[in-house]
Amino acid sequence: MEVTVDGLKIQYKITGPEDPKTPCIVILQGWGTTMQVYDSVAAFLSDRFRVVQFDFPGFGGSTEPERSWDVKEYTAFFIRFMQTLQIQKAGLIAHSFGGRVTIELLSGDYPIEVEKVVLMDSAGIMPTRSAAYQRKVAWYKFCKKVITSKPIAALCPDMVEDWKKRQGSADYRNATPIMRETLVKAVNYDQSKLLPKIKQDTLLFWGENDTATPLADGQKMEQLIPRAGLVTVKGAGHYSFLEQPALCRNVLRSYFDIA
């Protein structure tokens, strides 16, 4: 299905009972994924809940913003998306980047009633930067300044674009120019100070071998969110819900009180 929010065409789907009075759960996706990645999570809950999946602007089949957005702008979009679908109350399940939006939403004044939250391998904690990392960043910034200077950019635009594609993480390399800028804004935004403001029951579901958002991030979130509990998924990485589906199913159904 498709809905237009602020001029952007947003792909979404709803599974579960058709009765609009049925309790709702919304899944907020991780960076660079499509909503279909979370079909198994939706299936765990759709016998008792209406489960909403969607693609953020610039993700999957949804329209890309005309300029780069920061986390606050994605959060404002999410509120308008929920209002467009006339959802006033929901549980939230958020993976990776979706966790950033959830943290931002729940730490401020928001017009959506949220009772329970699941953060899966969530982003939001700024990693500790080593001296070697700082040197690498300084060298990158120097090269970027030279290569993207107006004379070189004008003479060799293809070379400049090729250089950009070869920098950074796979997520950065695979993104469009607008989404690259969006990713940079997101990863440089530390939301640690917002975590104590989250008042909802919060389940943290985390892969012990996650290298994108390390388990230490989940442990820190457990300490800072007043009503949080952490489930460590043995042997799993950043997509712990896909790597250990049986555990994920049992934990989610227990957390959302499904017998």
- What 3-state class would DSSP assign to 22? coil
Cβ neighbours of residue 258 closer than 8 Å, sequence gap 6 or more: 45, 47, 48, 252
pLDDT at 134 over 60: no
Residue type, 155: L
Question: pTM for this one?
Answer: 0.87
Q: What is the pLDDT of residues 135-148, one digit of tens each?
A: 554 445 555 666 66
- State both tokens at 103: 């943290």
Comparing 13 with 168, the larger pLDDT belongs to 13
- What 3-state class would DSSP assign to 121? coil
Give the distance, in angstroms, between the CA of residue 237 and the centroid of all CA atoms in the same chain: 16
Comparing 150 with 134, the larger pLDDT belongs to 150
Q: What is the pLDDT of residue 182?
A: 97
Tell me the torsion sign for CA atoms 62, 168, 160, 149: positive
Rounded Cα gap, residues 121 and 118, in angstroms: 10
| Mean predicted lDDT score pLDDT of the chain | 91
Fold of 2-126+191-255: Rossmann fold (3.40.50)
Model confidence at 130, in pLDDT bands (50, 70, 90)?
Answer: very low
Task: Give mean pLDDT, residues 165-179.
Answer: 80
pLDDT at 168 over 80: no
H-run or E-run covering 160: helix 157-165
- 221 and 124 in contact (C-beta within 8 Å)? yes
- State both tokens at 218: 């989940």
- What 3-state class would DSSP assign to 88? coil
Q: What is the pLDDT of residue 166?
A: 64
Q: Where are the domains of the chain?
A: 2-126+191-255, 131-185
Q: What percent of the chain clears pLDDT 70, i.e. is strictly above it?
A: 86
Q: What is the pLDDT of residue 12?
A: 98
H-run or E-run covering 54: strand 50-54
Q: What is the pLDDT of residues 176-213, one digit of tens each?
A: 999 999 999 999 999 999 999 999 999 999 999 999 99
Model confidence at 24, in pLDDT bands (50, 70, 90)?
Answer: very high
Q: What is the pLDDT of residues 59-116, one digit of tens each?
A: 999 999 999 999 999 999 999 999 999 999 999 999 999 999 999 999 998 999 999 9
Cβ neighbours of residue 223 closer than 8 Å, sequence gap 6 or more: none
Q: What is the pLDDT of residue 161?
A: 66
Model confidence at 133, in pLDDT bands (50, 70, 90)?
Answer: very low
